[in-house]
Amino acid sequence: MSSNITDTNTPASFSEEPSPMTTQQQTVQGQRQAPTAVPLQQNAAQPSIVPFKERVIGVAKKTRGTLLGKPELKEHGEKILQGEASIHDEPKSA
């Protein structure tokens, strides 16, 4: 029972060349475009960024000052977070 009608469910033979439209429409899963590097720019209006280590110490001093009821320690921690004071400065006693 041979038929001259080709079955659409059977794959094309390896000898047939795929059409260009087929290869252009295929997408590769998992392929990403590389991220573009953008240089950081610091404006005069934007204050300098406080380093991570100083932010951790600033938050610790602010929390400690709050819990122990020492407003000068809390204010010093806030100034460290704002970049107005150094972690090496002693908090001013009131």
pLDDT tens track, the chain, 94 positions: 555 555 556 665 666 665 555 444 555 666 676 666 666 555 555 556 899 999 999 999 999 999 999 999 999 999 999 999 998 888 776 5
Token pair of 70 as six digits: 């020492």
Contact between 50 and 60 under an 8 Å Cβ cutoff? The reply is no
Nearest to 62 by CA among 35, 85, 44: 85
Domain boundaries, the chain: 52-82
Nearest alpha carbon to residue 65 among 57, 55, 76, 56: 76
| pTM as predicted | 0.48
Q: What angle do CA 88, 68, 66 make, to 5 degrees?
A: 75
